[in-house]
Amino acid sequence: MRFAVSIANSGSRALWWRVLLALFLWLWIAIPVVGGLALVHLVRSNAEGLPLVPNLQAWALAAPRTTVILAADNTILAELPFLQNGQSGHRIPLKNEDIPAILRKAILAAEDIRFYEHHGVDVRSVLRSAWKNYRAGHVVEGASTITQQLARGLVSDIGNERSVRRKIREALLARRIAKCFSKDEIFQTYANYVFLGANAYGFGAAARAYFATPLDELSLAQVALLSGLIQIPGRGNPYRNPEVAIQRRNVILHRMRDAKMISLVEHDLAIQTPLSLKRPVEWYGHIAPWATEHARRMAKKLIPDNFSRGGLTIRTSIHPQTTTISEEAAATHLKLVQGDNEEAPQVAALVFDHRSGYISIMVGGSDWQENQFNRTTQGCRQPGSAFKPIVYGAALEAKVITPATPLRDGPISEYDPQLMVFWKPSNSGREFRGLAIAQDALASSLNTPAVEVFDLVGSKAVVEFSLALGISTPLRENRHLALGASCVIPMELAGAFATIAEGGHAANPIVVTSIRDRGQLVLDRSDFADPQLSASRRLDRIVQQSSARKQRVLDEHTAYQLRSMLRAVVTRGTGRSARDMPMPVAGKTGTTNDNVDAWFVGFSARVTAAVWLGHDDPSIKLGRGQDGSHAALPLWMTIMNASPDAPGGEVPGNPPVGLQSASIDRNSGLLALPKSGSAIQLYFQAGTTPTEVSKTATQVHQDFARNTSSF
């Protein structure tokens, strides 16, 4: 009996051990299987709706980046940040070959030491960081690879929350990225994508932001500092927190040493290296500031979407050296004009090639740092007598006058119901001549003859003629317009004079000559003679410009008559000071009531220039004697002489076919008698040449400037 019980107890214990062993084996197999199945289910459920793999090449092409504005000689005028989707900053794209080996090592040490060994997700690092975080009780180390960071950054649907779901989706997308793109493509994109503080996106921009140094010239200590900013771009900013930046830099150096990326000697030297930060040069506002800002505005207006995301190369026609010379000359001249006045006047000046339209010099005020308002392109001031060529031009075009038309120079009195005063225009010398032919009246800037011409042609014709020449500002259609009592923009008035210089072809002054967006030409206004053009592009522009001829807005005969009349302003009229310039020039002075505004607008055979002086507050006068001849013309001459393009041929040049020349008596406007002392050679359009001969031969003094100053 005892024996039987003993056998039963032994069998029972053996059975339990077998059951326990079987259960253990089952669990040993089942738990991994179940866990694996659960993991597969978790992965699959989170993989549903996973975003598409981002196209790295497409991102590199479209990524917002820095815009550069260049002068005609490739001098950098500005580096503008992009502004897109609430982000603003600089990005200077790099190619793989642009990334120095030492920087590559520093980035790998900082973020993903096994980057070239794993396939988007570093399982070893995941397990290591999980164990460390478990022991610490909180997150002390991450395990995101460079590819995972890129996935999270380029695909917004992944999210940034700390969750298992996000990490799984991020890892899955990283795996797919690693299958679709090479390691070099992924690394290049990352080096251009990552934000490093100080408005710098990517390492190209960061090298500029912190050290003002090209990437390939950075030291070991510098690349370690930049790599350390990836995780703490704000807190680690060395400008604000140098101690934190150095501490993080040293961590990267330790990792590089431990990974045998650098030697112990290199490590120790880099650890001891001071920060040596250097802020980048802020080009904007230092060289040709008004032209730079004008170029920025034009690019934003012409291609707003492209401008916002940046990456543009905006080429301009500006000559930095001559612009600086002109700015300095203007500052010196303004002090002379200021005299004893408390406030210095302002200035607007520009010079451009009237054939190509290229503006080489633009000065928009007395001091850019104090006031960025560009009086050349944004200011609107009364031109005074500088508007008279437009009045005379409208009349010549309508054939209601000729250069020899005798005009009355005498008192006018007209009641102005708005101002409730009598309008009594007079000449600056307060003297009237009685009679003057049109060419002499314009040369001497006589006022009542200009009013008579205005009355003959009519206000509508004058306004239409102004529009044809490029004047866009609304003009007051009353008799006061004859004397320039309606404001115009200096650049537009200069454009009108340039059209006259160009024989009636529209002359459109421009600053922006071309714009490239990521290398692709999106705007091309280049002239075929531009020295910056390649041979193939020059040929293209020759073909394009020959097929798209300049618009003719003024009859060539009228244009020549006006050039001849404006040349007389310089040879014997109010612009007489300019007659000894090294090149023949023509132009017109302008002064408004009480010397509030002073102008000179004129041209050589090659370039047109305009100068305006005055105060922003029109209630402030320039001062006694500071009219167009004495305040504006001297600066105009200085700037013209500084322009390398100013020399040219004769002005007015050879007359076009169809004009007839005749010797005219300046007292009567009739054909002059042989050997007449008052004779002048003038040109007439067909059917307008005088036929009657003057009955007397009188002597007329050739220099009207002695009897009148600029008005």
DSSP 321-356: HHHHHHHHHHHHHHHHHHTT-SSPPEEEEEEEETTT
Q: How many residues does the chain have?
A: 711
**For position 2, what pLDDT does the model report?**
44
User: Of 23-27, 190-194, 246-250, 256-260, where does mean pLDDT reach its minimum?
Assistant: 23-27
What band does 695 get if pLDDT is binned at 50, 70 and 90? Answer: confident
Instruction: Return the DSSP state at 704.
Output: G
Residue 34 pLDDT greater than 70, yes or no: no
| Residue bearing the bigger pLDDT, 87 or 312 | 312
| Residue bearing the bigger pLDDT, 534 or 661 | 661
What band does 708 get if pLDDT is binned at 50, 70 and 90? Answer: very low
pTM above 0.95, yes or no: no
Instruction: Return the DSSP state at 568.
Output: H
**For position 7, what pLDDT does the model report?**
45
What band does 537 get if pLDDT is binned at 50, 70 and 90? Answer: confident
**For position 544, what pLDDT does the model report?**
78
Residue 93 pLDDT greater than 70, yes or no: yes
Q: In sequence order, what E strands does 64-201 have?
A: 67-70, 76-80, 82-84, 87-91, 200-201
List the strands of the sheet with 82-84, edge to edge. 82-84, 87-91, 200-201
**For position 710, what pLDDT does the model report?**
30
**For position 79, what pLDDT does the model report?**
96
**For position 412, what pLDDT does the model report?**
79
**For position 33, what pLDDT does the model report?**
58
User: Of 182-191, 384-393, 422-431, where does mean pLDDT reach its minimum?
Assistant: 422-431
Residue 324 pLDDT greater than 70, yes or no: yes
**For position 705, what pLDDT does the model report?**
37
d(CA 321, CA 311): 26
Residue 127 pLDDT greater than 70, yes or no: no
Residues 6+ apart with CB under 8 A from 563: 500, 501, 586, 651, 652, 653
Instruction: Return the DSSP state at 130.
Output: H
Instruction: Kindly state the average pLDDT of the residues 162-176.
Output: 78
What band does 163 get if pLDDT is binned at 50, 70 and 90? Answer: low
**For position 143, what pLDDT does the model report?**
66
What band does 167 get if pLDDT is binned at 50, 70 and 90? Answer: confident
CA angle 548–552–557, rounded 5-degree value: 140
Residue 711 pLDDT greater than 70, yes or no: no
d(CA 428, CA 437): 18
Please report, rounded to a whole number, the percentage of residues in the chain having pLDDT higher than 70.
Answer: 85
d(CA 616, CA 365): 10
**For position 298, what pLDDT does the model report?**
96
Rounded-to-5 percentages of helix, strand, coil across the chain: 45, 15, 40
What band does 165 get if pLDDT is binned at 50, 70 and 90? Answer: low
Please report, rounded to a whole number, the percentage of residues in the chain having pLDDT higher than 90.
Answer: 69
Residue 172 pLDDT greater than 70, yes or no: yes
What band does 136 get if pLDDT is binned at 50, 70 and 90? Answer: low
What band does 102 get if pLDDT is binned at 50, 70 and 90? Answer: very high
What band does 698 get if pLDDT is binned at 50, 70 and 90? Answer: low
d(CA 387, CA 451): 12
Q: Is 424 exposed, middle or buried (0-12, 13-18, 19+ CB in 10 A)?
A: exposed
Alpha-helix residue ranges (DSSP H) falling in 620-709: 633-642
- Angstrom CA distances, 426 to 8, 374, 448, 594, stand at 142, 33, 7, 13
Residue 703 pLDDT greater than 60, yes or no: no
Q: Are 523 and 362 in contact (CB under 8 A)?
A: no
Q: Are 148 and 115 in contact (CB under 8 A)?
A: no
**For position 13, what pLDDT does the model report?**
61
